[in-house]
Structures are given as structure tokens and as C-alpha cells.
Amino acid sequence: MHDTRFNPIKADATWQAAWEKAAIFATPAADDPRPKSYVLEMFPYPSGRIHIGHVRNYTMGDVLARFRTMTGHAVLHPMGWDAFGMPAENAAMEKGVHPGTWTRANIAAMKAQLLRLGLAIDWSREFATCDAAYYGHEQAMFLDMFDAGIVYRKESAVNWDPVDRTVLANEQVIDGRGWRSGALVERKKLNQYFLRITDFAEELLTGLGELDKWPDKVRLMQENWIGKSEGLIANFSLVGSEQGVEVFTTRPDTMYGASFLAIAADHPLAQSLAANAPELATFIEQCKQGGTTAAELETAEKLGFNTGLSVQHPLDPDWHLPVWVANFVLMDYGTGAVFGCPAHDQRDLDFARKYGLPVRRVVADGDATDADFDGDIAFTGAGAIVNSHWMDGMSVAAAKAAIIARAEHDRWGHAKVQYRLRDWGISRQRYWGTPIPIIHCDACGVVGVPRDQLPVVLPDDVDFATPGNPLDRHPTWRDTNCPKCNAPARRETDTLDTFADSSWYFIRFASQPQDAPFSRAEAESWLPVGQYIGGIEHAILHLLYARFWTRALHRMGKISITEPFAALFTQGMVTHETYRDATGNWLSPDEVRDENGVLTSLDGGAVTRGRVEKMSKSKKNVVDPDGIIDQYGADAVRWFMLSDSPPERDLLWTESGIEGCWRFVQRLWRLFDAAAESGDGARDMALDKACHRAIAGVAADIESLTFNKAVAKIYELVNAIEKSRVPASRHDAIRILPRLISPMLPHLAEEGWQALGGSGLVAQQSWPEHDAAMLVDDDVTIAVQINGKLRDTITLPRDASREVAQAAALANARVQAAIAGATPKKIIVVPGRLVNIVV
């Protein structure tokens, strides 16, 4: 029996099976002659369920991948799992399930959900980062970097949770306490591995310049994160000592305005003084307390402790400056010491006013050149240098250069480029991560695991009953022999930060030999990723680490590319209204009834409408992808993900919106179902042209990822088809539609393609060609303006001359009435657009 409606449940399953059977999403060979197109969406963490944000992300990538295939590209469109990380260990502790078991089950569940979307993914390349076959290669690369000096080991302070016996990231410390245990977090020194990303700071910065297909916003965020600043390192000699204090400044031009030296609480000089000065020791302790949140720093008072020491001013040895320990100086930026120039730095001014230190103007603020500086607002602008002896009258820039030259000549300082970026600490005292392939030997020290003993596999028999890292207390796993001297030795029990796993997965997708991380030729045939799509939340860390990892491989001669992602797109979130009942509890959308805008709960209680927010479990404003696919089918859901909102902005999920998509899917299906058999007879030029415009326009919009505009153009074409009464043109236009919608509505497109007698699968067809001549109209509507205001429109041949257009405009009845016989002062003619008559 003939269906009267499109049945997505049936169609989705049918066509997904057909695609799989024909293996049409298999990646072409590396030597495929077609141009390559690598489309990649950020791979998901297997938390257990796909959420709607994934659906939006993967739909966008899928549209592009399918479109690129139709336009003659060899496409790589893979998917995998960012499978290591904390949630699996938390699940292990809470539910007693092994992290691996939990993760594998989640992957299976999420893959089943993804399959329902009908994504054009080559699943044969799927992997999870917790596969030993993946992380073993990561260990090999770690060792390469170790040998190349890119990895180093350093004692460094970490946030230590004494109850959970683990290191916490800064984000996991809330009000000084561990986010899980609630225990007071301790600062603890541990030997940790670092990647020397700061060595790459300059090239990571300049490399941003060639990423012209990245959002400016992301490039700027990375630029700020790297935080390059140029200045002077100056040595201030301690009075009565051979030693000195090194200071970094970006304002050497203000050196004659110096009034004190300030060092960080954990500066070695402060530490050594504290040994014999209990008051200072107390002060240092005080500095370490107090939060580091934005609000706290905003209001934090400047605190200082006068050490009683003084230093010589490098420009005048007779001029002595007091040395203070100050809470606003950071040990891990610059040298951990600054000279205070209160007149031209707000922090220094606050500090100087509080402790009664001199405030001396050395940069003129307009007419103000007086050495005595009034007020509590520092002058940080540019101006002529004053009260600075030989530098008086110089510009700030000239003075900086002059003083750096002098410092280098007199050997008390040198120019310095300073970066905000810190080296990447990659040690984690956790189980569920890539084991760091290092062996500790009492005689030989730190020794890399020999390549032929990789992968160092995580042991399965671990227990999470006690807090801490299970690798650390495993009865046998730690024990091994030194690869060099064969003496008993210990394995490193730390694992790698999971950001390492996601720093090269895109290379592994492109090439996955067994015996190496990747084969160079094959990887380079696909890389860099042609289009990378994901959330803005990864703007800094993931994207910076992946760029760094790629450059590290490049520096070691392993790969020729330097940038992994040629184009980046950051999509917006999916949002939904929030609801609360009378007692303030969150309600989910299906617990709320809407009758003409009046909201009630299912039991009739009052409901208030809250803000539109990102879908989250805690606010209960989520829609479950499985549920909506059950109800509307994959295509309607995909269509909604692409409609209305520009992809980089947030998308508001609404019931009425998805129902509109569902209606449109049905409308298309009716068109296919009732299409005429023959395309002979008279033509409807307007429809024929609309068709060609749609083909060209939709292609351009998919290419530029403006899917909302592509959607609008398809609506326009369908509206035009439905309005037209000319069978021949309708016949042809309807036969264009399946290919046009195939990237976005792939199941319906197959259904239509089949119903209209197409052979094979529409997913394998070429994108329809458009006739450029059909994109231009013979007649154009021209605006007739008087003094820039629209008065009428006239229709003229497209190639009408200026003279013809002007004459036609002047002959227009409304123009005649408006100018009333007067002579126009000026007439502007823009051919094909408008005539503006100035009177």
C-alpha cells in the first residue's frame, strides 16, 4: 500500500543500511586523483549519551563532507573517541565499575546514537584514545620529544588533595578546597614532566598569521594567551653585597622614576631572608593565602614588607632604592622582581601611596611636567620623557631603545622578549590515561622505555576502593628492570594529560599503520585538516596544544606541515528555555504544559519561564537526541540544526521550530510523490532561473558554512516550485531537488531520488551544474529615488545604458509629479540598480 506520508523511521533505517552495504563512505586511497578534503569535527568524550550540541556539530561537518564528495573531492571524514579522563575514574569510585568497562559501554551507546543521524563517516577508521594501539604510539612520540629535549622534568608545585590523594587542576579547586573531597588543598612539590611549548611561543604566535580561515576571535585569544611583551632585564646590585636582583620591565623609559624594588613572596631572596626573619616568614605565609579568583584580586589590597635591604640604581650607583616583598609580584612571570615606578603604573602607585614611597613623574602628561606627581591615578599614556637627565625630551619609544642600548653597553642589562605562555605540565597522578613511558633507576636515573617494549599498557587489575593513583600501589606493575643496567627499577606511575591524546588524533585518522604513529606520505596527503569544526571552549588549550604538537613533530623532522588545521569553525551552543515551579525547582520541557502562553506543570501548578540557557542537566532544559529522532526522524532534526540561526551563534531549540522542519520534510516528500512523469512542453523561465540560482546559491552557502542561508534558499526554491503551474519546469526542478537537499536531508533525498527514477544512490551523484547565464535576468527592477528616497521602481533591460535608465526615470510619472518641472541638480545612475535624482 502506498504511504501517504514520509515515514522517517523506515526510511532512515533503509538508507543507512544501503549506504553501509555500498560502503560509500570509505576513505579513498591516498593516491586518489581527486582533490583531497579532510573534514573533521572535534571528537567526543564518551560520557554516555550524545547531547544535542554533538548533533549540531556533526550535522554541520556531515553536510560539508557530503557536499565535498558530490563536488568531486576525495573525502576523509572520520570519527573516534577522546576516551581517557577523570569521569571514568569517578564512575569507578562511585559505581565500582572499571574505567575501561564504563568507557567502552559509553562508546557503544553513543555510537549507536550517532549512527541514527545517518552521518557520512568512515567508521573503519574509528579508534578510542584508550586503545593501547593508539596510546602506544603516543608514548613513542613522547620518547622522541624526550630525546629531542622538548620534554623535561622539573620539580613544581601542584594543588594536592590530601584526601583523594591526587593532583587537582586549578579549575577543580573551589575556595581553596578540593571539588570532590572538600579537603583543604595543599601546595605540594612534585617531579613533573613538562613540554617545552615556550620554545615554540614565537612560531605559534607568528603562525597565527597564516591561519586566515580561523575566526579572528580565536586567533586573538591565542595571541593574548601567548602574551608576548618586549622589554629589558636589568640587574640591580644589592648594597653591600656581590649579589644583585634581576628585574624585568616593559617600561625601561621610566627608570628615572623608580622609587622601590619589589620581589615576589617566593623569590629566592625573600625565602633566604625569611630563614632569619620570622616576621617576614609570617608575611610570606600571608601572601600565599587569599584566593586567586578575579573578584578577589580586584579588591585585594597591596601588601608589602620592607626587607631593609637596598639596591643601587643602575643609572646612578649613589641612588639607593629600598627592597620590598610585595604580594602583587608574581614569581612565575618575568624574573619575579620589579622596580616600582609609581607615577606611571597603577599597582606601583597604590603601593607607594600606601607605604609613603616617593612618586616621581618622568613622562609628561600634556603640560604636566612637574616631578611631583599628584593624585591616585597613574599616567600610563605616551608623552615626552621629563626629569630624566640625558633622556629628557625623548619619546617613550626612543627612550626605551636608548636605555636598552645603554644597559647592554654598560653590561647591567639586556633586551628581553617575555611570554605569558608557560610550559605545559603533562603529568597527572591518575590511572585512566596514557602511561608515561619512563623507568626510574637508582643508578641510571630517568630512562626511556625502549621502543620495542611499547606500548606500556595500563594494568587491568586495579582497585579504586582507596583514594589515590592505583598505579602507585599496584603490587607488580611498577616493578621492572632498568633497560640500561638491568638493575631492579620502577616504572613512572604518572599518566599523560588527556590533552596530549587529542593533540595528534587528527594525524592518526589520516594514517594508521600498526608499527608507527602514522605514515608520513599518507598523513601528508590528507593534512592539514581542510575544515575543523567544534566548540569555542577549545579556542585556547586544545587548539594550541595540537598546533604545538604538530610543530614539535615538524621540528623533529617527522612531518612537513606546521599547522594542523587550515580552517577552523567554532559553532554556537544549542539553548532552550528554562522552567521553574512555584517552589523554584527546575522543570524539564516535558513537565510543562503551554496553553496560549500560560505555563502550568502537569499537576496544574504555576510555572515561571526562565532565561534561555545552554542545555544542561542541572537546569533540566535538555532534549534527548534519541527522543526527537524517534519522533521526527533524523532529517527533520538535521534540518533544524541547520536552520534559522547562523552556525556560529547559539541555536534556540523550540517545539514549534522542529515541527516546522517536520512539516517541510513532508512537503518535500509530497512534491516527490506527486511529480509529473514528463518534462516536455512550455517552460516557466522564472522557475528555471530560480532553480539555477538555488543550485549556485546553496553550493556557495555550504562552502562558506552559512547553512542557515542555504536552508532559506531551498525554501525559496520549493515555494517557487509549488507556485508554478508549468509542468515541464516543475518536472525538472523537482528532479534537481534530491541532489540539492542530499547533504542536509540525506535520507529523504534518497527516497526522492528513488521515487523519481534515479539510478544508484543520490549520495554518490554529482552536485547539479548550474548555467551561469541563467543566474542573470534579462530585465531588472531599478529603484527610482529622489534625493535618495525611493519613489518608484521601473523595469528595464539588464544592459540598458545610463542614458536609457536616466530617461526612463525622468519620464516616470511619480518623478514628474515630484520635481514639478524643475531641472534636477544632479542625476546619479547606477546601471542595473538605481537612478537617484537630486533636486
Partner RNA sequence: GCGGACGUGGCGGAAUCGGUAGACGCAGCGGACUUAAAAUCCGUUUUCCCAAGGAAGUGCGGGUUCGAGUCCCGCCGUCCGCACCA
Of 378 and 489, the one with the shorter C-beta distance to RNA is: 378
Angle (deg, nearest 10), helices 746-755 and 727-741: 140
Of 274 and 573, the one with the shorter C-beta distance to RNA is: 573
CB of 279 to RNA, least distance (A): 19
Q: What is the CA radius of gyration of the chain?
A: 34
Of 163 and 541, the one with the shorter C-beta distance to RNA is: 541
Of 235 and 429, the one with the shorter C-beta distance to RNA is: 235
Angle (deg, nearest 10), helices 707-723 and 625-642: 80
DSSP 3-state of 561: coil
CB of 814 to RNA, least distance (A): 5
Angle (deg, nearest 10), helices 99-115 and 86-95: 120
Find out whether 541 and 499 touch, Cβ atoms under 8 Å.
yes
Of 134 and 283, the one with the shorter C-beta distance to RNA is: 283
CB of 579 to RNA, least distance (A): 17
Of 409 and 826, the one with the shorter C-beta distance to RNA is: 826
Of 66 and 416, the one with the shorter C-beta distance to RNA is: 416
Q: How far apart are CA 699 and CA 536, in angstroms?
A: 26
DSSP 83-147: --SHHHHHHHHHH---HHHHHHHHHHHHHHHHHTTT----GGG--BTTSHHHHHHHHHHHHHHHH
Q: How far apart are CA 61 and CA 530, in angstroms?
A: 11
DSSP 3-state of 760: coil
Of 519 and 654, the one with the shorter C-beta distance to RNA is: 654
- 356: number of Cβ within 10 Å: 7
CB of 784 to RNA, least distance (A): 9
Of 63 and 436, the one with the shorter C-beta distance to RNA is: 63
- Candidates 422, 428, 434; CA nearest to 142 is 434
CB of 62 to RNA, least distance (A): 21
Residue-level length of the chain: 839
CB of 38 to RNA, least distance (A): 26
CB of 187 to RNA, least distance (A): 16
- Candidates 196, 204, 195, 254; CA nearest to 228 is 204
Round to the nearest angstrom and report the end-to-end CA distance of the chain: 71
Q: What element of type H or E holds 316?
A: strand 316-326
Residue partners of 375: CB distance under 8 A and separation at least 6: none
Of 34 and 420, the one with the shorter C-beta distance to RNA is: 420
CB of 647 to RNA, least distance (A): 9
- Candidates 229, 415, 236; CA nearest to 340 is 236
Q: What element of type H or E holds 554?
A: helix 541-555
Residue partners of 382: CB distance under 8 A and separation at least 6: 363, 395, 396
Q: What element of type H or E holds 571?
A: strand 568-571
CB of 339 to RNA, least distance (A): 7
Of 380 and 519, the one with the shorter C-beta distance to RNA is: 380
DSSP 3-state of 490: strand
What's the gap between Cα 620 and its chain centre?
Answer: 26
CB of 437 to RNA, least distance (A): 31
CB of 712 to RNA, least distance (A): 3
- The single-letter code of the amino acid at 839 is V
Of 459 and 660, the one with the shorter C-beta distance to RNA is: 660
Burial 46-68 (b: 16+ CB within 10 A, else e): bbeebbbbbbbbbbbbbbbbbbb
CB of 134 to RNA, least distance (A): 29
CB of 571 to RNA, least distance (A): 13
Of 88 and 794, the one with the shorter C-beta distance to RNA is: 794
- 804: number of Cβ within 10 Å: 14
How would you classify the pairing of strands 495-496 and 488-491? unpaired
DSSP 3-state of 576: strand
CB of 667 to RNA, least distance (A): 5
Of 23 and 822, the one with the shorter C-beta distance to RNA is: 822
CB of 14 to RNA, least distance (A): 23
Report angle CA 99, 101, 104 to the nearest 5 degrees. Answer: 105
DSSP 661-719: HHHHHHHHHHHHHT--S---S---HHHHHHHHHHHHHHHHHHHTT-HHHHHHHHHHHHH
Of 338 and 587, the one with the shorter C-beta distance to RNA is: 338
CB of 368 to RNA, least distance (A): 19
- Please count the CA atoms within 13 angstroms of the CA of 511 that sit on its side-chain side: 20
What's the gap between Cα 645 and its chain centre?
Answer: 19
Of 151 and 800, the one with the shorter C-beta distance to RNA is: 800
Q: How far apart are CA 83 and CA 166, in angstroms?
A: 20
CB of 141 to RNA, least distance (A): 27
Of 294 and 682, the one with the shorter C-beta distance to RNA is: 294
